[in-house]
Structure 1
């Protein structure tokens, strides 16, 4: 087997020789240098080829040598610099350079004496062969003449090679004409590949239009119908059936499909023993308030889709099994401020059942803070003020999208991401389970009290039976037909029947390998498990992702094109229970993902048709804007108002962008949690975007996690012609195509620096308002802030230089070599990772490692900036106000070290972007 090692290969340090002999595609007729190693003959042949016409001339020297037994996986390659410096001999010197051979053996250094010795030995062998092979004397003159002619020809050809290759300089020098980079920053530091690449803007535009025009909305409708046929909760046979069918669908489109199993701790209701709420009347008899069941509504078609009795049951995952008896305390939305208001009034939660309404924060945070104050149970309901805005029973489901009185929101209460029994490790067969359920409940990662969701049909009965003080704040009053009170003397009984069980969950990953950079991945993410049928959440996203996969595969085959980088379609299991499927996958593949993942673009659901809602990191702001500018708006009312693209509508409804003074970017939220993107950004530092299509200006996805998320609802109330879902598919695919196919990954590093500047300014004002500057010491605090501002200025300067190059290359204004593109892509791809601190943002939140983007400590849904500083600062204030000076000092020290962590991350980001290296 003959294998070739080229000079270019030595620069990029390929892991193995190619299986087929490589040839040069040297269009500019420059020298091609390399060496050929013959495994069988143990011969390394070095060569130099120049082409002035179709017949190349060659200068060849052979060296025979035995293989070493050293298995250090390095091979010897030819170095053309040495050839240029040796004017006496055209022979290549063999110098040691790290290069991996397929046989895993190292080839020894051949010095000048050994080379000459081998050459002499070869000549001796050749003479012996000639003497033994010539039997007739008349052949000798003929042979001498032939040798003379060949030698003369070789000398002439060699002179030609030298003249041509030195005409514009030495062989070892790659001139600007050969390089054509137009980027002098590179030329001063090293010699890049000769062949350059230009961004083909017309080709990108043509492919983009082809992809967008290939969507078939009715395919999305059909996908939603089969995805929503049955209740498919994670860990059940019905969900396993969905998983298998998804895998088959992707395989039918031609993708490489793999599945990944994990055994995780899940929670379920006992469906034939629904949860209940009762109250005791004056005679001591228990009167039913809620039977824990919803009500089938709508026309016959809709009712048939609600036929499964499991869909009627009200429940929340990971609630403690058991019964609680006590009086009720109403806590509004159950936020930190709401509980603080009750504390100020002297209303204790100890031994009480808390009634709070959905909204504002994550349901698990409502329960955890109630339990921290001694509550023995929690009831959560949908108030019509939030979920039925028109306050009219005839304007709720099935007539409108508002939540009907019997509608209740299911959901998880888990206060961690991933399998709670195996933090930091994937739940594989080899994994030791470090946590037990009793430990998790004692630390309130899982509730230690019974919790039940209900509709306002039942909540109004509770409020009507309270006889305590009236609610004094207008913001605490909802729209139920009852007087809102804080407490009452009536005794209530909450009964919850639930179990926990280890079940197998399975992720499905469908892959299209990239043509040029297959080891860089752009991920499309969506989950496929649901609380009931899940026609909106998640099936609207799942159905759209399937159509995207069909379109990409079809267009790829039709026009013989694949994106430069690999695209992965990721279907996550058990998202609803706490981002479990995606978290386990992230933990299993953490190391390769940190090295290879470019971005993760997530769509959880599509619940409206007016505008998009976006959470994203600054690196992706411009790429999202570019994709929305190319995507036609699905809103007919928007068209009548002149808003023809998704970008037009987005700017109209969310005009205030995240970058101060820049109106070209509409409103984008800080990524917190709430869907599968969370672990990619907060744990690995992989840039993310989370996109939804919704109604505006009034949010109208009120049947969220209820039994009314059925195909009938989508087809009649949400997206009748599936134009919104098709628009999301076009936007989603175009964004991914741009990330996967641009020569330089189209991140905007300058936006990152600008956002950091704005964020630090706001953080300083908040810290000064809290009073942390005086606690640290004014001089010390001023010095800390000065250091950080200096680092931010240097970061912005580096970002501006890098962004100019990225913009010029991706706009087709400058060319780069393969090596230069690799260098640039490595830098921009690793920028987000610079803000990951592996030990966690602080000791109490080790699973959150991103120093800039993290969810709020008191609201897992909400994203905040610099939580590693702001969380401890708020804790310091509370501890100091309560007189707990020991805890206050602890949190003050945490603030100080968190400043160091953030400064260190900014300095690391500067070094990551630096084109001159870090020395």
Structure 2
């Protein structure tokens, strides 16, 4: 007897429609373009995206805006003295230019040589304690924390330049950006533009310099030039509208270092293919999907996504369901998942989806300050799933993308580093995540983990403050929020089960509409406090900070003299931040109580 075949589900149709062949065509095109932001190849890439999508009947807009960007040009590093030596190097985006004739100074090593390939390069921020007992005033720092945090710290201690010795040992020099200004500067933030030059060198050359330093004082002369200023940047945005006006924002940066195949041509191709597949299934979409290809990521500190967060603020605040960032998928031989950039309310969704689709165990992590995460202040939930090389893989290095491949931000990031088959699998995963946000009647946001985040963070800060700044009442409020969030999740999951596979009608439809609006509003209440200091209308610096960043200086208060001005000033700041957190917790609790009153238990029928 023939066995009846079960019709494929909507998600299965999406996944099976992904074409590795089409993805490879896009990758080949992008691999011919060095997509320097504001340059002709970036424009050619945007035109290709727009033409490809329009051929599939997809509406595309190409916005143009002026972005403040920095393009590294030339650099040199020479040891001066009896045995002059030249060291290969590259300048950093937004590093200061050296004066004519260069800059000369004594070299001082600061920081740690310890390598941890399980962490990204952004995690190497250095510590204030690295400078204890070291006088770097008027000198050039050699160190392994050469991002915006480390360069700023070196400048604050009086250094005249920073040479970043890469922590892992690949035979490659990595490009990077050192400004802490997120997006285009404002009058208030422009003073944070780096005031000292910064160079990249290989680990082996850093070790070579350290060997010379062990023999005595070493002086070096550096030259560094970056072309910094305004450029017109193109930003492509494609819409697949759903039945309702809400939409999920999905983004990938279009600019690159060199041809940047795995950072981020693979992500750009992924978005094109996602849009094509979803367009064919558009009638099934309850909510829409909006795709954006960000310029100014690598050379403008996320200038494109920041501009869009500002320019489309009202629509994003009221209609966007969240932000899914896609960066460096489809890398050859990647096999494990690092699910960073996930906020608490999407934790359960991401755990379940990554596990079900890939068969892999997801490592769910909260967001850190990188990767076009320009929407925290608006309050959008952030999603992320990144396939990585195994920790013991021969190509794994301490980098910031490309699946942790050593070729990240180098000329070696070429077509051979991508795998269209793996990219198709990653695209299928992202389509499933998208479908689980935009097609169910009930939004899949569970705020119990977010409430737990508040409780654990406030409890830890209470202990760290050692009585200098009590937070126990906020811990109680966070616990109460957790209890309310659990009740809300009970109602949400009950309504989700009651309406699975059918269109909600009558009272269920009204309740679900109220619930979904309430869930979106909760993210706007909690996330700006949990992840930012500046809040909805500005952007925090690109400096790594723990969650609840506004209250983190409570740790420092305990170390200060209560009679000092510094103590008084810091305490005043902390009181204001405490009020902000308390207000968010109270507003969220009141909001959930109102939702529970309005929504009530699910109606069966």
TM bucket, shorter chain = 0.7 to 0.9
**Cα displacement (A) at 1:261:** 1.1
- Classify 1:324/1:583 alpha carbon distance in 2 versus 1 (closer, same or farther; 3 Å): same
2:137 and 2:157 in contact (8 A); partners too: yes
Alignment of 1:447-846 (within 5 A): 447-467=194-214, 488-514=216-242, 516-517=243-244, 519-556=245-282, 561-576=283-298, 577-606=300-329, 607=331, 608-615=333-340, 616-631=342-357, 646=358, 648-650=359-361, 666-676=362-372, 678-680=373-375, 682-698=376-392, 699=396, 700-714=404-418, 719=419, 722-748=420-446, 752-757=447-452, 759-771=454-466, 774-776=467-469, 781-810=471-500, 817-835=508-526, 845-846=533-534
CA distance in 2, matches of 1:290, 1:848: 45
CA distance in 2, matches of 1:837, 1:522: 19
Equivalent residue in structure 1 for 2:135, among 333, 348, 351: 348
**Cα displacement (A) at 1:546:** 1.6
1:525 and 1:601 in contact (8 A); partners too: yes
SS at match of 2:214: coil
State whether structure 2 residue 413 is matched by structure 1 residue 413: no
- Report the counterpart of residue 96 of structure 2 in structure 1: 320
- Classify 1:353/1:675 alpha carbon distance in 2 versus 1 (closer, same or farther; 3 Å): same
State whether structure 2 residue 65 is matched by structure 1 residue 262: yes
- Classify 1:782/1:691 alpha carbon distance in 2 versus 1 (closer, same or farther; 3 Å): closer
State whether structure 2 residue 22 is matched by structure 1 residue 219: yes
**Cα displacement (A) at 1:723:** 2.6
1:100-146 deviation line (CA, Å, top 9, x unaligned): xxxxxxxxxxxxxxxxxxxxxxxxxxxxxxxxxxxxxxxxxxxxxxx
CA distance in 2, matches of 1:824, 1:790: 20
**Cα displacement (A) at 1:782:** 4.2
CA distance in 1, matches of 2:476, 2:387: 42
**Cα displacement (A) at 1:810:** 3.6
**Cα displacement (A) at 1:744:** 1.6
- Report the counterpart of residue 160 of structure 1 in structure 2: none
| Bigger RCO of structures 1 and 2 (CA < 8 A, at least 6 apart) | 2
2:345 and 2:448 in contact (8 A); partners too: no
**Cα displacement (A) at 1:588:** 0.6
CA distance in 2, matches of 1:332, 1:540: 35
- Report the counterpart of residue 76 of structure 1 in structure 2: none
Alignment of 1:144-163 (within 5 A): none
1:528-562 deviation line (CA, Å, top 9, x unaligned): 10011101101111122222222223455xxxx34
1:670 and 1:864 in contact (8 A); partners too: no
CA distance in 1, matches of 2:511, 2:535: 36
CA distance in 2, matches of 1:257, 1:902: 40
State whether structure 2 residue 32 is matched by structure 1 residue 243: no
- Classify 1:675/1:781 alpha carbon distance in 2 versus 1 (closer, same or farther; 3 Å): closer
State whether structure 2 residue 77 is matched by structure 1 residue 277: yes
- Classify 1:538/1:599 alpha carbon distance in 2 versus 1 (closer, same or farther; 3 Å): same
- Classify 1:808/1:672 alpha carbon distance in 2 versus 1 (closer, same or farther; 3 Å): farther
Alignment of 1:81-480 (within 5 A): 206-270=9-73, 274-282=74-82, 287-292=84-89, 314-322=90-98, 323-333=102-112, 338-343=127-132, 346-357=133-144, 363-383=147-167, 386=168, 388=169, 403-404=170-171, 407-420=172-185, 423=186, 434=187, 440=190, 443=191, 445-467=192-214
2:459 and 2:472 in contact (8 A); partners too: no
1:278-301 deviation line (CA, Å, top 9, x unaligned): 12123xx8x342254xxxxxxxxx
2:68 and 2:303 in contact (8 A); partners too: no
- Report the counterpart of residue 897 of structure 1 in structure 2: 576
CA distance in 2, matches of 1:769, 1:502: 44
Number of aligned residue pairs: 564
SS at match of 1:712: helix
1:743 and 1:809 in contact (8 A); partners too: yes
1:743-786 deviation line (CA, Å, top 9, x unaligned): 122222xxx22442354235323432342xx223xxx6544544
1:556-575 deviation line (CA, Å, top 9, x unaligned): 5xxxx341111111111111
2:267 and 2:328 in contact (8 A); partners too: yes
CA distance in 1, matches of 2:182, 2:517: 29
**Cα displacement (A) at 1:211:** 1.3
CA distance in 2, matches of 1:547, 1:340: 48
- Classify 1:800/1:775 alpha carbon distance in 2 versus 1 (closer, same or farther; 3 Å): same
- Tell which deviates more after alignment, 497-506 or 760-769: 760-769
2:442 and 2:492 in contact (8 A); partners too: no
State whether structure 2 residue 564 is matched by structure 1 residue 885: yes
1:628 and 1:731 in contact (8 A); partners too: yes
CA distance in 1, matches of 2:235, 2:173: 28
1:411-432 deviation line (CA, Å, top 9, x unaligned): 1112121111xx4xxxxxxxxx
CA distance in 2, matches of 1:289, 1:847: 47
SS at match of 1:564: coil
- Classify 1:613/1:836 alpha carbon distance in 2 versus 1 (closer, same or farther; 3 Å): closer
CA distance in 1, matches of 2:328, 2:531: 30
- Report the counterpart of residue 916 of structure 1 in structure 2: 597
1:327-359 deviation line (CA, Å, top 9, x unaligned): 11112359666441431xx2111111111125x
SS at match of 2:35: coil
CA distance in 1, matches of 2:43, 2:92: 21
Gapped runs of 5+ residues in structure 1?
A: 1-201, 293-313, 389-402, 424-433, 469-487, 632-645, 651-665
CA distance in 2, matches of 1:831, 1:504: 36
CA distance in 1, matches of 2:17, 2:81: 64
CA distance in 1, matches of 2:221, 2:411: 25
CA distance in 2, matches of 1:367, 1:511: 40
- Classify 1:611/1:866 alpha carbon distance in 2 versus 1 (closer, same or farther; 3 Å): same
TM-score (norm 1): 0.58
SS at match of 1:684: coil
CA distance in 2, matches of 1:252, 1:802: 40
Q: CA RMSD in A?
A: 2.9
1:355-386 deviation line (CA, Å, top 9, x unaligned): 1125xxx7111100110100000011224xx2
1:841 and 1:848 in contact (8 A); partners too: no
1:319 and 1:413 in contact (8 A); partners too: yes
SS at match of 2:218: strand
CA distance in 1, matches of 2:111, 2:472: 41
CA distance in 1, matches of 2:346, 2:501: 17
SS at match of 1:546: helix
**Cα displacement (A) at 1:897:** 3.1
2:60 and 2:236 in contact (8 A); partners too: yes
- Report the counterpart of residue 869 of structure 1 in structure 2: 551
1:574 and 1:581 in contact (8 A); partners too: yes
1:185-221 deviation line (CA, Å, top 9, x unaligned): xxxxxxxxxxxxxxxxx98x62211111112212222
SS at match of 2:596: coil
Bigger Rg, which one: 1
SS at match of 1:865: coil
- Report the counterpart of residue 105 of structure 1 in structure 2: none
CA distance in 2, matches of 1:501, 1:823: 47
Gapped runs of 5+ residues in structure 2?
A: 1-5, 114-123, 397-403, 600-605
